Structure 1
């Protein structure tokens, strides 16, 4: 539980009593590779903090093509924000890409923690703001950068994911076909 408390302490400072209360409201789960934590059409009831492993969120369009929206590695949070906040069925799948240990926080417990530890509301607000900024930046990159520039940016930002995440998922994340990604990666890594 040290990693999640360290993650929180980067933004807000909790007393030992507040930390202990927080820890009573979360649950550690271990999941195997390819486990689906959330299906599109379901209501997201938890946010997930990754202690170890890798998760991804994605959607599938009408042509059965996957579009990866987000990866989450050790120390990152993931969830279907629309569904979690609205408590309506969402459009995202969340899948385990590498055996993972996650800490899940239910929406109900999160709301209770906001009442009992108002600093956590600030923590999650800042997380949400950072997520919004990252998604806006990614949208701008998709509109303004070439595929090669998006790949280079991804590589610089997440160098360890290139070895751990299947190429087809990275290709989907940067918005290219797996075949184009493979050619582009070979060319760019040779230069």
Structure 2
């Protein structure tokens, strides 16, 4: 069940069987349905999540009640509210599954234990954090320098396998455009 999880880690640091057993004891496997919440606004994020299979989105609701999708988490990705998780503060975000999903999760205290028991995982999480920052900077740069159409086409090319699972209203929210404008972009043929 955790094969894909260990493959993701092994791309950065190699784990022996004893270390894998430690991780297996610290992480919980959870099956969740479509539309289930992993986190709601106001809650303290108790877990970091790894999507074994499925799809989730992180979003927030602004002062006028509009949803704004901040990110999607695909199979093989980590998700969570890092600020809430690290600071133990109430989250401003929701994390919701967009399809039935199998996730693994680890608590803040179990993560601290993991770093003591398997110190090389600090390197893995440092690189993971660096990759998150790079991805956020690239997304910000793309949104500032590319048209909505260019951002849409780049996103669909990169995540083609998931496009049928992402409702258009959530994709439009992620792109910071209206669903109507997204429909117009999608209806234009790319030459």
Q: Which residue of 1 aligns with 2:33?
A: 32
- Distance, in Å, in 2 between the alignment partners of 1:105 and 1:188 is 44
Q: Which residue of 2 aligns with 1:87?
A: 88
After TM superposition, give the deviation of residue 188 of structure 1 in Å: 4.0
TM alignment of 1:148-167, pairs within 5 A: 148-167=149-168
TM-score of the superposed pair, with normalisation by structure 2: 0.96
Deviations 1:41-90 (A, max 9, x none): 11111011111111111111111111111111111111001111111112
After TM superposition, give the deviation of residue 165 of structure 1 in Å: 0.7
RMSD over equivalenced CA pairs, Å: 1.0
Q: Which residue of 2 aligns with 1:65?
A: 66
- Distance, in Å, in 2 between the alignment partners of 1:121 and 1:79 is 18
The alignment status of 1:78 with 2:79, answered yes or no, reads yes
Q: Which residue of 1 aligns with 2:12?
A: 11
- Distance, in Å, in 2 between the alignment partners of 1:32 and 1:141 is 32
- Distance, in Å, in 2 between the alignment partners of 1:175 and 1:160 is 22
- Distance, in Å, in 1 between the alignment partners of 2:189 and 2:36 is 33
- Distance, in Å, in 1 between the alignment partners of 2:183 and 2:162 is 15
- Distance, in Å, in 1 between the alignment partners of 2:52 and 2:118 is 23
Deviations 1:98-122 (A, max 9, x none): 0001011111111111111111111
After TM superposition, give the deviation of residue 161 of structure 1 in Å: 2.2
- Distance, in Å, in 1 between the alignment partners of 2:51 and 2:104 is 6
Aligned residues: 190
Structure 1 segments (4+ residues) deviating >3 Å: none
- Distance, in Å, in 2 between the alignment partners of 1:108 and 1:67 is 30
- Distance, in Å, in 2 between the alignment partners of 1:188 and 1:35 is 35
- Distance, in Å, in 1 between the alignment partners of 2:189 and 2:31 is 36
Q: Which residue of 2 aligns with 1:144?
A: 145
Q: Which residue of 1 aligns with 2:188?
A: 187
- Distance, in Å, in 2 between the alignment partners of 1:188 and 1:24 is 51
